[in-house]
Amino acid sequence: MNTQKRKTLKQETLIKGIGLHSGKEVNLRLIPAEANTGLVFIHNVKNKKSIIPVSLNYVVDTSNAVTLGDGFRIVQTVEHLLAALHTRGISDLILEIDSSEIPILDGSSKIFIEVIDSIGTKEFEEEIEPIKIQNPIWVVDGEKYMVILPSETLKVTYHIDFKHPLLKGQSLTIDLNEEILAKEILPARTFGFLRDVEALQARGLALGGSLDNAIVLTEDGYLNQDLRFENECIRHKVLDLIGDLSIIGRPIVGHIIASKAGHALDVSMGKLIMSKITGDEISKFKSKRIHDFLKRKTSLVG
């Protein structure tokens, strides 16, 4: 099986945007890291810093989005950013953020990957070996299920069946090499139903949501007039899946078949892969190496 070189960014950069729920400005700083650091969030609010590794051990919530946390602080909606990092093979990066949620930007991964491409990546000599699925594995939750079959490439067959005339009984099968991910999946925006948006905003949530960063469905159509793909919603479900599974920390080679899945099922599959295919590789996380690296970065550790 072909291995891949570990990568980081060539230089530091800052991404600004609003949080989907808070509606407030978020600053996300992407900082190059040494090989084998992994992806690590630094939650930095009022000079109080917490280290939150991108790891299945740190997933604390999967309702509506994936949230990572250390028991004290959280970072919400990480999947769009992670999908972009995964697509460009970035394995080692410090992600310093001054909020509890990633900026929503346009509701997809398009801007994240554009920023990555404008900076470029640095390749290390160290390698990362993809996980090649050898035998079928699956997770089931009522009518929802996900199966991964052996395959020579990464591909997805996804099925959705929402109670909406435009999203009922829809399926998509697509190969997911780097080029297809970047062009056909990452630009797909998140979506929601107008009735749900109104209920969320009444509870003080989704205050940053708008037609600029989400596809909004009425009872029988779209509020948006600018769909990027005819089936943009199901493509976004694939985006979420790729971002969620990337928390494993290694690329997957297999044919993913998912029906009515979501963040909870994605993370469950990730945990199953780690336990059955690789063992608990999370335990190999080099926390001391990360702390030593952060101490040398005065902008991160006070």
Question: Which active-site residues does the annotation give?
Answer: 263
Cα–Cα distance between 189 and 237 in angstroms, integer?
Answer: 9
Q: How many CB atoms lie within 10 A of CB 123?
A: 13
Cα–Cα distance between 121 and 118 in angstroms, integer?
Answer: 9
DSSP per residue, 139-203 = EEETTEEEEEE--SS-EEEEEE--SSTTSSSEEEEEE--HHHIIIIITTPPPEEEHHHHHHHHHT
- Give residue for tokens 């969320």: 200
As a whole number of Å, the CA-based R_g of the chain is 19
Residues 6+ apart with CB under 8 A from 94: 29, 30, 31, 32, 33, 37, 40, 42, 293, 294, 297, 300
Which is it for the CA torsion 256, 260, 262, 266, positive or negative?
A: negative
Torsion of CA 221, 223, 225, 228, to 10 degrees: -80
Phi, psi torsion values for 254, nearest 5 degrees: 175, 175
Q: How far is CA 141 from the centre of its chain?
A: 21
Q: How many CB atoms lie within 10 A of CB 89?
A: 15
What angle do the packed helices 110-119 and 79-87 form, to 10 degrees? 40
Torsion of CA 287, 178, 279, 79, to 10 degrees: 60
